[in-house]
Amino acid sequence: MDVLVPFAATEPKTRLAGVLRPDERAAFARAMLEDVCGTVAEAGGSPTVLSTADLDCEWPVVVDDRLLTPAVNDRLDPPVAVVMADLALSTPAALSRLFGADGDVVIAPGLGGGTNALVVRHPDFSTDYHGVSVADHRRIAEAIGATVTEIDSFRLSVDIDEPEDLVELALHGDGPAAAWLEDAPVGVGTDATGGRATVTRG
């Protein structure tokens, strides 16, 4: 299956500013992109990086500097998948479940209402990544009479966007992005409240 992997090439991962410097964020975003494209290929997909700027990369790259939604919609030629470049917890098994699931539209929801991965088999479907996109994508599918399947995957639900997501990568990742993080100056721990683990720059 053709798989678009959208990538923000300029100042990526600004929400990680509290724990990673700009050069580290850029390197980390690249490590995640390579990781995700490799995992897509292992799962039998053919990745194309949809980048906001030119990129030296081992995978095919197309450049489109528009916002995510129009850039994706212009290339939504079914059957096609869209897999975010920061799904560093994704595994071949998780992506195989996505690619292999039945349905005109297959959605892997992301934390906080996102759509982290998507398979589109219906010619009239279009994306809307602005706002609570999982709800928008359900509505768009319903409006065109497309069947929707949702994939229940923790590994596809965590896009590495906020500092707390680094906890998930440190605890559950095993690819190049997790290896990059292991060498980075951040540590994972819990405080005395018994809540979720957090990361700190050490």
- Pick the closest to residue 99 from 123, 77, 82 (CA basis): 82
Q: Which residues contact 122 (CB under 8 A, 6 or more apart)?
A: 78, 104, 105, 141, 144, 146
Pattern 119-138, binding to a second copy, x per CB under 8 A? -----------xxx-xx---
Tokens linked to 91:
């595994």
**188 is an interface residue for a second copy by CB under 8 A:** yes
**42 is an interface residue for a second copy by CB under 8 A:** no
Closest separation between CB of residue 87 and a second copy, Å? 12
Beta bridge mates, 6:
50
The number of beta carbons lying within 10 Å of the beta carbon of residue 174 is 11
Q: Which of 39, 48, 52, 153 binds a second copy (CB under 8 A)?
A: 153
Residue 6 CA to residue 191 CA, distance in Å, equals: 36
**91 is an interface residue for a second copy by CB under 8 A:** yes
**152 is an interface residue for a second copy by CB under 8 A:** yes
Closest separation between CB of residue 176 and a second copy, Å? 20
**190 is an interface residue for a second copy by CB under 8 A:** yes
Consecutive H or E run containing 198: strand 198-201
Q: How far apart are the first and last CA of the chain?
A: 42
Under rule CB under 8 A, how many of the chain's residues touch a second copy?
35
**15 is an interface residue for a second copy by CB under 8 A:** yes
Binding residues for a second copy, rule: CB under 8 A, are: 15, 91, 93-94, 109, 111-114, 130-132, 134-135, 152-157, 161-162, 164, 167-168, 171-172, 188-190, 194-198
